[in-house]
Amino acid sequence: MTLEARRIDDLFPREHLQPPGAEGRTVRIVAGGEAAVPDIPRGSWQRVFPLQHERQLIRARHSIYRAGDILEGIPVVHSGWAARIRRLSDGRRQILSFILPGDLVSAGAVFSDRLSFFVDAITDVRTTVCKRVPLDEILAQSPRLLHALMAGCLAEKTEVEELATDLGRRRAEERIARLFLQLRTRLEVLGQVSGMSFDMPLRQQHIADATGMTVIHVGRVLGALRNDGVVQINGGVLTIADLAALQRLSDA
């Protein structure tokens, strides 16, 4: 009963998502680094949520959705990175979460069609949209799936609560360290981490908007981390040089 759905891996072909050979075609249920619970029967997602329309391409740095938009379906990011963002009228931005390949844009989208945030493409992004289905129909067809979806929704909420704690009570270095470790964990599940490095298309501005800092200060902290031999970013690749140190920073 602790299923949590944020990623629906068998929602679409896995060219980018899965190393060949891994053919366990169950819905993979993953949340914030916790245990995967692969016991939803194969294909339950597609059976319950039929495809509404195929892939759509959004160019890097463009908005995918805007706050107030009414979703006609449940969007899933197929490839590329995106971000859920809140904007203030004077231009300040807070990134609420990063959306990686295979993620639902928001678990809440299964149950509600009104967005309270913006979704911006960071890299080029391909999306798929599935049909939203009434609650009772989901329940009838796959009770486990419904549970998993609701748990995913709760997990998303918990993650935002962690974010709020980071923003309110942790300092610059800690926040950046935690962001990097979180990204590594999530990308590891996707098989996109090789050793201590992974592709990281975020600009310093994205890191700043996610951690509640200014770009310039992000630059300084990153510089310090590089000098101290903890983390470095080179050509869009993040390399953790001293994992223990990074974990120490993110602790408490």
Q: Which of 102, 42, 105, 82 is nearest to 210 (CA)?
A: 82
Cα separation, 129 vs 181, whole angstroms? 30
Token pair for residue 38? 């692969």
Q: Is 223 in the site for DNA (CB under 7 A)?
A: yes
User: Which partner, DNA, a copy of itself, none, binds residue 217 by CB below 5 to 8 Å per kind?
Assistant: DNA
Query: Is 222 an interacting residue with respect to DNA (CB under 7 A)?
Result: yes
Q: Quote the CA–CA distance of 163 and 29 in Å, as a whole number.
A: 22
CA dihedral 12→147→179→109, nearest 10 degrees, is 60
DSSP-assigned beta bridge partners for residue 234: 237
DSSP 3-state of 54: strand
CB neighbour class for 123 (10 Å; exposed up to 12, middle 13-18, buried from 19):
middle
Give the one residue of 27, 82, 146, 221 binding a copy of itself; rule: CB under 8 A: 146
Residues 201-220 that bind a copy of itself (CB under 8 A): 211-212
CB of 219 to a copy of itself, least distance (A): 18
Among 13, 21, 136, 235, binds a copy of itself (CB under 8 A): 136
Q: Binding to a copy of itself by residue 164, rule CB under 8 A?
A: yes
Chain centre to alpha carbon of residue 57: 18
66 binding a copy of itself? (CB under 8 A): no
In sequence order, the 6+-apart residues with CB closer than 8 A to the CB of 203 are none
55 binds, among DNA, a copy of itself, none (CB under 5 to 8 A by kind): none
> Which residue is it, tokens 């709020």?
164
Member of 173, 192, 241, 242 binding DNA (CB under 7 A): 173
Integer angstrom CA distances of residue 18 from 23, 113, 187, 243: 9, 30, 12, 25
Q: Work out whether 23 is an interface residue with a copy of itself (CB under 8 A).
A: no
Q: If binding is defined by CB under 7 A, does position 59 make contact with DNA?
A: no
Nearer residue to DNA within complex by CB, 21 or 235: 235
Instruction: Decide whether 66 or 169 has the Cβ nearer to a copy of itself.
Output: 169
Exactly one of 22, 216, 237, 243 binds DNA (CB under 7 A); which one?
216
Q: How is residue 231 written in tokens?
A: 């983390």
Considering the complex, what minimum distance in angstroms separates the CB of residue 158 from DNA?
24
Residue type, 109: A
Contacts to a copy of itself by CB under 8 A: 2, 86, 88-90, 92-94, 96, 108, 111-112, 114, 116-117, 135-136, 139, 143, 146-147, 150-151, 153-154, 156-158, 160-165, 167-170, 211-212, 251-252
Contacts to DNA by CB under 7 A: 61, 171-173, 203-205, 212-217, 219-223, 226, 235
